[in-house]
Chains A and B, each alone.
Chain A
Amino acid sequence: MKRVVTLFILLSLWAAAPAEAKLKVVTTTEDLTALAREVGGDRIEVSSIAKGYQDPHFVEAKPSYLLRLRGADLLIAVGLELEVGWLPALVQQSRNPRLLGKGSGYLDASTGCDILERRAGPVSRAEGDVHPFGNPHYWLDPDNGGVMAANIAGRLSELSPADAPYFRSRLEAFQKRLAEAARSWEDRMRPHRGVKVVTYHNSWPNFARRFGLEVVGFVEPRPGVPPSPSHTLKLIQAMKAQGVRVILVEPYFDPQTPNAVSREAGAKVVVLCPSVGGAEGVKDYFRLFEHNIALLEAVFRETGGAQ
């Protein structure tokens, strides 16, 4: 009887297994999931650890993360120390030899991207939560999105050489669509070039440079440090002096200070979406930009745009 049951289980497993096993990919953020899906198509199974509405600097470990990392063929990270607070311990604990020691199963998506605010010298402790390798919010420039997708396609092809042509053709199609979309986004933002804004965290340098916004200040006195009264007062004065009418906030920060600042300075608070999955309907990399640009167009129309 036991033998029959074993045989039955083996048969059903064999029947359930796909002809070719899919590559199991785990990403740290949903932006990377979206990009991996674009190039990996149906040849990969991909899921993200952090949700788009969570601050990727902080992630609370759950058992399922360890299980997913354990079984992963590939882990894709944003890098530049964005995940330094939580990912190393999880990878260590997953005991997955493919991921440990940055082996073949670990991909830092930032390679070759245009990284801003890279530090040459040592970072002083007085400067706040500064990432010495550069600003880790680089995925908010579509050009970098194209490079990241190419990085992912390259590594997927190494891991599954038989599918390399498939990944290549998907990558090319994605990059073509992205270039077209980026042109239309730039066209829409062109009337607003040079508009001054304040942001909560320093998450938007790549986005601002690409679409011509000028970030003149931050609600945080230093990155990762909560707002203090003297900094907030200085910020309000600076906003009034320079005519800043818009404050951009990430969804995971407390809106109290930005709301107070905007009341004082006569500005509008806009909750932008810094990651795929961070707002209703932002399901892929294209909709991430669509969503944010639509919000910005609306608020610039309301506040009078570039004046």
Chain B
Amino acid sequence: METWEFLAAPFAAGLILTGIHAYLGLHVVERGVIFVDLALAQIAALGTVVGFLAGTELHGGGAYWWSLGFTFVGAGLFSLTRMRRSRIPHEAIIGIVYAVSAAASIAAMSRAPEGAEHLKDMLVGNILVVSWGEVGRTALLYGVVGLFHWVFRKQFLMISVDAERARREGLSVRLWDFLFYVSFGVVVTSSVAIAGVLLVFSYLIVPSVCGMLFAERVGPRLILGWSMGAGVSAAGVLLSYALDLPTGAAIVCTFGGALLIAAGVKIVLSGKS
């Protein structure tokens, strides 16, 4: 069936996004830095814009290195601004970084041709027209990042869940924070190019929130998150086909619906016990 041929690549992309984001989402929700992906994606977009004004092509290899460089700067910024005892919540700084880099991109792009068009391009992405080549490259990259996180899972989990204990045990929280945000930035930059900010945000937060509803430990939460993400990817892609809606938006709405159902189940379950 030719229909499946078209829906297979977006679905595969959805599975890959689920794989890495449901995991990173656990960290992000645990740290309470929900909007860090939006901020990093926006910094990456700003990097592309600055590179573009400096003379590189928008969709070429040069643009990627510009965005990656800016992502590293952002990662440094976020690891430096995480204070032990501060009255200013980390989320506030992330919000400021997001707003300023978004505004800087808009201002810079107004000096460039096809301004709005390309800015939209960078942050919207289009999961429906993702190619198998992109899916393969992304799977490889996320595999490497995932492996890195699995090898150092003890350190990464400790700095996210219990930073005080990590300090007592002599871990350099700043260093591991920086490594976390760098790997996170690498993932988000690629994901946003494929799927856009809205969809990446949903893949990051919704599965981990769903996992938290039903489980305490990391393992079960991950398994729940992965199952939910995979199920929603399939349902969202099918819904987009059945109702002929833009695929990314259809998946995000499916995430919302699925979380509502999960919350309903939770209420019923806790009412019984």
Partners in one complex: yes
**Nearest CB on A from B135, distance (A):** 12
Chain B residues with Cβ under 8 A from A127's Cβ? 113
CA distance A120 to B120 in the complex (A): 29
Q: Does B115 contact A (CB under 8 A)?
A: yes
Q: How large is the interface on B (under 10, 10 to 19, 20 to 34, 35 or more residues)?
A: 20 to 34
Q: Does A130 contact B (CB under 8 A)?
A: yes
Pick the residue among B7, B117, B131, B245 that contacts A92 (CB under 8 A).
Answer: B131
Q: Assess the B247–A61 pair: CB atoms within 8 A.
A: yes
CA distance A123 to B112 in the complex (A): 12
Are A225 and B6 also in contact (CB < 8 A) when A61-B126, A64-B244, A92-B131 are?
no
Q: How many residues of A contact B (CB 8 A)?
A: 29
Chain A residues with Cβ under 8 A from B110's Cβ? 225-226, 228
Pick the residue among A57, A62, A222 that contacts B128 (CB under 8 A).
Answer: A62
Contact with B along A205-245 (1 / 0, CB 8 A): 00000000000000000101110100000000000000000
Chain A residues with Cβ under 8 A from B3's Cβ? 63, 67
Are A129 and B117 also in contact (CB < 8 A) when A67-B3, A67-B6, A95-B5 are?
yes
Q: Assess the A67–B247 pair: CB atoms within 8 A.
A: no
Pick the residue among A61, A70, A224 that contacts B129 (CB under 8 A).
Answer: A61
Q: Does A85 contact B (CB under 8 A)?
A: yes
**Nearest CB on B from A131, distance (A):** 10
Q: Does A17 contact B (CB under 8 A)?
A: no
CA distance A61 to B6 in the complex (A): 12
Q: Assess the B128–A61 pair: CB atoms within 8 A.
A: yes
Chain B interface mostly helix, strand, loop or mixed? Answer: helix
Q: Assess the A63–B244 pair: CB atoms within 8 A.
A: yes
Q: Does B111 contact A (CB under 8 A)?
A: yes
Q: Does B246 contact A (CB under 8 A)?
A: yes
Q: Does A58 contact B (CB under 8 A)?
A: yes
Q: Assess the A90–B129 pair: CB atoms within 8 A.
A: yes
Pick the residue among B113, B129, B245 that contacts A125 (CB under 8 A).
Answer: B113
CA distance A85 to B126 in the complex (A): 12
Are A93 and B240 also in contact (CB < 8 A) when A61-B247, A224-B116 are?
no
Q: Assess the B246–A61 pair: CB atoms within 8 A.
A: yes
Chain B residues with Cβ under 8 A from A123's Cβ? 113
Q: Assess the A226–B129 pair: CB atoms within 8 A.
A: no
Residues in A128-147 with C-beta less than 8 Å from chain B: 128-130
**Nearest CB on A from B196, distance (A):** 11
- Nearest neighbor of A70 in chain B, beta-carbon distance: B2
Chain A residues with Cβ under 8 A from B244's Cβ? 62-64
CA distance A224 to B110 in the complex (A): 9
CA distance A129 to B110 in the complex (A): 10
Pick the residue among B113, B121, B128, B246 that contacts A224 (CB under 8 A).
Answer: B113
CA distance A62 to B250 in the complex (A): 10
Q: Does A66 contact B (CB under 8 A)?
A: yes
CA distance A300 to B126 in the complex (A): 44
Q: Does A5 contact B (CB under 8 A)?
A: no
Are A89 and B6 also in contact (CB < 8 A) when A57-B117, A224-B115, A225-B110 are?
no
Contact with A along B1-25 (1 / 0, CB 8 A): 0110111010000000000000000
Q: Does B114 contact A (CB under 8 A)?
A: yes
Q: Does B35 contact A (CB under 8 A)?
A: no
Pick the residue among A90, A126, A226, A228 that contacts B116 (CB under 8 A).
Answer: A226
**Nearest CB on B from A33, distance (A):** 18
CA distance A287 to B217 in the complex (A): 66
Are A60 and B246 also in contact (CB < 8 A) when A70-B2, A95-B5, A125-B113 are?
yes
**Nearest CB on A from B53, distance (A):** 8
Chain A residues with Cβ under 8 A from B116's Cβ? 224-226
- Nearest neighbor of B112 in chain A, beta-carbon distance: A125
Chain A residues with Cβ under 8 A from B128's Cβ? 61-63, 66, 93
Q: List 5 A-B contacts (CB under 8 A).
A: A61-B247, A67-B3, A93-B131, A125-B113, A224-B115
Query: Which A residues fall within an 8 A CB radius of B?
Result: 57-58, 60-64, 66-67, 70, 85, 89-90, 92-95, 123, 125-130, 222, 224-226, 228
* Shortest 5 CB-CB contacts between residues of A and residues of B: A89-B129, A129-B114, A63-B241, A93-B129, A64-B244
